[in-house]
Amino acid sequence: MLTAEELERYARHIVLREVGGPGQAALKRARVLVVGAGGLGAPVLLYLAAAGVGTLGIVDDDTVSLSNLQRQVIHTTPDVGRPKVESASDLIQRLNPHVSVEAHPTRITANNAIDLIGRYDIVADGSDNFATRYLVSDACYFAKRPLVTAAVGPFDGTLTTLRPHERNKSGSPNPSYRCLFPEPPPPGTVPACAEAGILGALPGILGSLMAFEVIREIVGFGDGLVGRLLMIDALAMRFETLNYAWDPANPLSGDSPSISAPGGNP
């Protein structure tokens, strides 16, 4: 049930035929886990909070550094040195006091992933390393939770939605992250953000699209990104979509599953 204040706050959602009162109520009931409160996680958290998602979980074991502030817009200069989950929680509460925040100041690991993910309805992964991305996608498969996952480079990014625990309209399994990328690249082949650099506004674009896709998944409108990889080339300002399907040879949900570290079975 939405209060009078919430009806006013979310009025621009409620007048949308695709959302309306029932959609806004679904957002209020939803529990979303955001992995990482960094460049991608910051806009995800801000827009989901503004949209009225009832409960936001934040997993991050890092503290705010000055170099984060060029792109991680949920943190401010006075937050330098604070745990990211704390500064993010404070800003969310100032933005929308109707949102409940559950802070998890820890690194997501094989030991806690399924337990954490199982407490939420949907996961948004904004982590910055391959091991975590594979771990989160594998854990979401086993916990039967949908996942919106993105990755960002200096001037490029990708975004997709995963529901490999379900089947599509034709009866075939939905693809997993490992259908798209069976194994992570060898260590050292993809430079980290600190080495390669990143244009600060780019994770804002990807993170905003992640938030939109999470909202779309909760409310249930439009055509989402299950089985589709959105690719962004910011230098050319080009957006393209690659279709992908379930691979029976994939090591997670294929005919002969067999996975191992660093992106192994949680």
Per-residue pLDDT tens digits for 58-78 = 999 999 999 999 999 999 999
- pLDDT over threshold 60, residue 261: no
d(CA 243, CA 84): 35
Average of pLDDT values for 213-236? Answer: 97
- pLDDT over threshold 80, residue 133: yes
- Indicate whether 94 belongs to any domain: yes
Instruction: Classify 237 in phi/psi space as left (phi over 0), alpha (psi -120 to 50) or beta.
Output: left
- The per-residue pLDDT for 189 is 66
Whole-number average pLDDT of the chain = 93
Look-up of token digits 């006013």:
8
- Indicate whether 22 belongs to any domain: no
- The per-residue pLDDT for 124 is 98
- Indicate whether 173 belongs to any domain: yes
- Indicate whether 190 belongs to any domain: yes
d(CA 12, CA 74): 23
- Indicate whether 253 belongs to any domain: no
- Indicate whether 5 belongs to any domain: no
Which of 157, 202, 208, 203 minimizes the C-alpha distance to 40? Answer: 203
Q: Give me the CATH number covering residue 76.
A: 3.40.50.720
- Indicate whether 255 belongs to any domain: no
- Indicate whether 8 belongs to any domain: no
- pLDDT over threshold 60, residue 81: yes
pLDDT digits (tens, 9 = 90+) for 149-181: 999 999 999 999 999 999 998 999 999 999 999
- pLDDT over threshold 80, residue 28: yes
- pLDDT over threshold 90, residue 108: yes
- The per-residue pLDDT for 243 is 97
Q: Which residue range forms the structural domain that includes residue 52?
A: 31-243
Domain count, the chain: 1
